[in-house]
Amino acid sequence: NAGVTQTPKFHILKTGQSMTLQCAQDMNHGYMSWYRQDPGMGLRLIYYSAAAGTTDKEVPNGYNVSRLNTEDFPLRLVSAAPSQTSVYLCASTPGTSNEQYFGPGTRLTVT
């Protein structure tokens, strides 16, 4: 199994541009989450999905998410702002527990 994969690893965006961060898992986990991590801080939850086709939390401003199937959980930055500069981490969780498995992250800079 590849586990949780994320692309791209690094990206630089200009203010106002949009892009999609990709996340995929091949472990058939129902639950997937997006976090952001800022320097010297722990992780902050952006959004989660309990299963394909479900939306379980109000999406924060500036982001858009979709969960069309079990494997993929893309995060879209609609109109990037410098405050969205961060490392974005995707995680998946089996339905039997809340044990989280993380992808390698995407380091995003918005100039």
Partner 1 sequence: GIQVEQSPPDLILQEGANSTLRCNFSDSVNNLQWFHQNPWGQLINLFYIPSGTKQNGRLSATTVATERYSLLYISSSQTTDSGVYFCAVEGSNYQLIWGAGTKLIIKP
Question: What is the Cα–Cα distance from 57 to 82, expressed in whole angstroms?
Answer: 24
Smallest distance from the beta carbon of 6 to partner 1, in angstroms? 11
Smallest distance from the beta carbon of 28 to partner 1, in angstroms? 17
User: In this complex, which beta carbon is closest to partner 1, that of residue 74 or of residue 104?
Assistant: 104
User: In this complex, which beta carbon is closest to partner 1, that of residue 7 or of residue 18?
Assistant: 7
User: Judged by CB under 8 A, which stretch of 18-26, 58-66, 76-84, 85-93 contacts partner 1?
Assistant: 85-93
Beta bridge partners of 25: 4
| Subset of 4-63 contacting partner 1 (CB under 8 A) | 40-45, 48
Binding site for partner 1 (CB under 8 A): 40-45, 48, 87, 89, 91, 97-102, 104-105, 107
